Amino acid sequence: MAAGIRLLSTDFDGTLIGHPSDGRCIPALARALAGFKASGGLWAVNTGRSLAHAIEGLEIFHAPVEPDFFLTHERELYHRDPATGKWQDFGDWNRVARERHAELFHRSGTIFAQLQAFVAGMPDVTLIEEDGHTAGLITSDETTMALVAKGLDALRADFPDFSYQRNTIYLRFCHADYHKGSVLRELCRLLAVPAAEVFAAGDHFNDLSMLDPKVAGHLACPANAIAEVKSAVTAAGGWVSGRRFGEGIAAALAAVLRAPKKTRKKPAAVF
């Protein structure tokens, strides 16, 4: 396989498609994905979206090939059931994750009470309720989100298992063991794919856990990525594109696939 890459893990919103966007796959990215799949590669969409929302986005995206896996809600793992054609749990990861999150939220009443008091005087913050518990929040802008995240970091000091995933104005509460990086590692374990044969691409805070050389040996981000993501990719010798969204990922994937093996860990390239 080209460049020894067997698995492609991409964020969706902000990485493959932009904001605003009609949600369709651009031609350059379509060619890159089709070429990668034709070479025998596997593609996982690693997203904060729910499974239903991810499927909806994929239909609009209209890529020439479909992903082999959906990694959703920054923690769930799905593949196509060969018998039914439906997206199904892959292994027992999802069951265990749901059990651990249910237990975490059950014993986290104190931190939720503190959180509600913390945001009570912040009209630009909206708490989101799901299944009888506070699942996350939305802020009016990213400046407000930065303030909320700083406050949350102080609140969770006494709750090491309690964490969150953050992307632009959206934040989801979660168990600290579950994020895009850990679910990608589980997929690699099930497939027996080493980190050295994984390419990961993302643009925001919730992508940082998979933009780690211990998780993926080949890293990339588009020009629109936040500074923290660009720094992480640069530090790992990955590819920081000078192009935005799907154009940047198409260029990065093409560059990595054609790069001689001995040069791929040089300081980050900008193209």
Give me the pLDDT at residue 267, please.
Answer: 42
Q: Please list the pLDDT of the chain residue by residue as tens digits (271 residues).
A: 555 899 999 999 999 999 878 999 999 999 999 999 999 999 999 999 999 999 999 999 999 999 999 999 999 999 999 899 999 999 999 999 999 999 999 988 899 999 999 999 899 999 999 888 899 999 999 999 999 999 999 998 889 999 999 999 999 999 999 999 999 999 999 999 999 999 999 999 999 999 999 999 999 999 999 999 999 999 999 999 999 999 999 999 988 877 665 444 444 555 5
Cβ-based neighbour number of residue 96 at 10 Å? 13
Cβ-based neighbour number of residue 19 at 10 Å? 9
**Nearest residue to 133 (alpha-carbon basis) of 163, 152, 153, 113:** 113
**DSSP code, position 212:** S
Distances (CA, A) of 129 to 70, 133, 146, 206, 259: 24, 6, 21, 20, 47
Distances (CA, A) of 79 to 28, 33, 72, 135: 26, 18, 11, 25
Give me the pLDDT at residue 259, please.
Answer: 66
Give me the pLDDT at residue 23, please.
Answer: 94
pTM over 0.95: no
Residue ranges of the domains in the chain? 2-74+179-270, 95-175
Q: Cα torsion at 166, 170, 175, 177 (round to 10°)?
A: -30
Q: What are phi and psi of 41, to 5 degrees?
A: -75, 160
The tokens of 22 are what?
């009609």
Output the CATH code of domain 2-74+179-270: 3.40.50.1000
**DSSP code, position 242:** S
Q: How far apart are the first and last CA of the chain?
A: 24
SS3 sequence of 79-125? EECCCCCCEEECCCHHHHHHHHHHHHHHCCHHHHHHHHHHHCCCCCE
Q: Name the helix (H) or strand (E) containing 129.
A: strand 125-130
Give me the pLDDT at residue 141, please.
Answer: 96
Distances (CA, A) of 157 to 22, 162, 175, 206: 41, 9, 14, 20
